[in-house]
Amino acid sequence: MKVFISSDIEGITGVVGGGQSTMAGADYARVRKLMTQDINAAVEGAFLGGATGVVINDGHGAGTNVLIEDLDPRARLISGDQLYLSQMGGIDHTFDVVLFVGHHAMEGTADGVLNHTFLGRTINRLTMNGRPVGEMGINGAIAGHFGVPVGLEAGDDRACAEALSFFPGIETVITKRAVSRTVADSLTPGASHRLIREAAEAAVRKAPLLSPLLVDLPVTFEVEFKSTAETTFATLFPSVKRTGPKGVSVTAPDVVSAFKMLWGVFELGMAGA
């Protein structure tokens, strides 16, 4: 039983502000420890549930957040920037289940802690085949491309609700309840880790019963940027269609190909911004 853990930082136990989740933030060093501890709880639970191997993707920012020296030695870590599949870089058909640790709600989710979709300063809205989607939905669809189901989300209550809307029947751990975008009512790390460990164990045990998220083909992503400048740059690719003053779309035969095109659009959009 091979387990893939896709991690982010905004849903980690105790994280509520941008100053905690950026390298320049005064609290960032402490939050790296909290992130590593939440992941370790999931790793421990995965092995208790029968995992034979665990691979972790450090999926926040530059991908250099997880403290490898403090990581459970049974796990392996994929870290660094510029992964073509972003938070799913490293996934393939050899895995049996994906666990999300620390993921957050999509851009615009009412009061979701630090809610955004990939690029908070750039992206206003994103859809996949017409359905509003955030990072978890896309990550789950990428996993589904390889036949791998999602089994767990550990994050705030809004993120857990979003995960359940895409992956019914998965395990969820509410590490904190959102009060506003930068305020939460959080569990202590000890309480959170116990729940993550138990949920990860349960997710791995029931992995054979879970279904991967499969999307209709071809796959179309439509992006609404936060200004018109991003849109102008994004349409430098002839395959990118402009859908409005701030909108573009990309279409490809499958979700992995479509996401790679989308990532290129993001890069051009950021250059325009």
Task: Assess whether 223 and 185 both reside in one domain.
Answer: no
Task: Assess whether 167 and 197 both reside in one domain.
Answer: yes
| Pairwise CA distance, residues 20 & 122, whole Å | 20
Per the structure, the complete domain to which residue 257 belongs is given by: 219-272
The residue among 163, 191, 209 that closes a domain is 209
Task: Assess whether 168 and 263 both reside in one domain.
Answer: no
Task: Assess whether 75 and 176 both reside in one domain.
Answer: yes
Tell me what the mean pLDDT of segment 69-83 comes to: 95
| Pairwise CA distance, residues 146 & 68, whole Å | 27
Q: What is the CATH number of the domain that holds 14?
A: 3.40.50.10780
Task: Assess whether 93 and 66 both reside in one domain.
Answer: yes
- Identify the three-state secondary structure at position 122: coil
Task: Assess whether 205 and 230 both reside in one domain.
Answer: no
Tell me what the mean pLDDT of segment 173-191 comes to: 97
Residue 37's pLDDT band, with cuts at 50, 70 and 90, is: very high
**Secondary structure (DSSP) of 51-96:** -SEEEEEE-STTS--S-GGGS-TTEEEE--S--TTGGGTT--TT--
The strand pairing partners of 190, in sequence order, are: none
Residue 129 lies in a domain: no
| Pairwise CA distance, residues 136 & 187, whole Å | 22
Residue 123 lies in a domain: no
Distances (CA, A) of 5 to 61, 220, 259, 263: 16, 26, 19, 21
Q: Within the chain, where are the H helices?
A: 18-21, 28-48, 135-145, 157-166, 189-205, 228-234, 255-272
Q: What is the CATH number of the domain that holds 267?
A: 3.30.1360.130
CB atoms within 10 A of CB 134: 26
Task: Assess whether 85 and 67 both reside in one domain.
Answer: yes
Residue 93's pLDDT band, with cuts at 50, 70 and 90, is: very high
Provide the domain count of the chain.
2
The yes-or-no answer on residue 116 being catalytic is: yes
- Per residue in 188-211, pLDDT tens? 999 999 999 999 999 999 999 999
Spell out the residues 6+ positions from residue 235 whose beta carbon is closer than 8 angstroms to its own.
241, 242, 248
Of the residues 60, 103, 116, 145, only one is catalytic, namely 116
Residue 127 lies in a domain: no
Residue 125 lies in a domain: no
Task: Assess whether 171 and 265 both reside in one domain.
Answer: no
The pLDDT value recorded for residue 180 is 96
Task: Assess whether 174 and 234 both reside in one domain.
Answer: no
The pLDDT value recorded for residue 272 is 79
| Pairwise CA distance, residues 139 & 102, whole Å | 13
The residue among 179, 209, 239 that closes a domain is 209
The encoded tokens of residue 112 equal 């979701």
Task: Assess whether 6 and 109 both reside in one domain.
Answer: yes
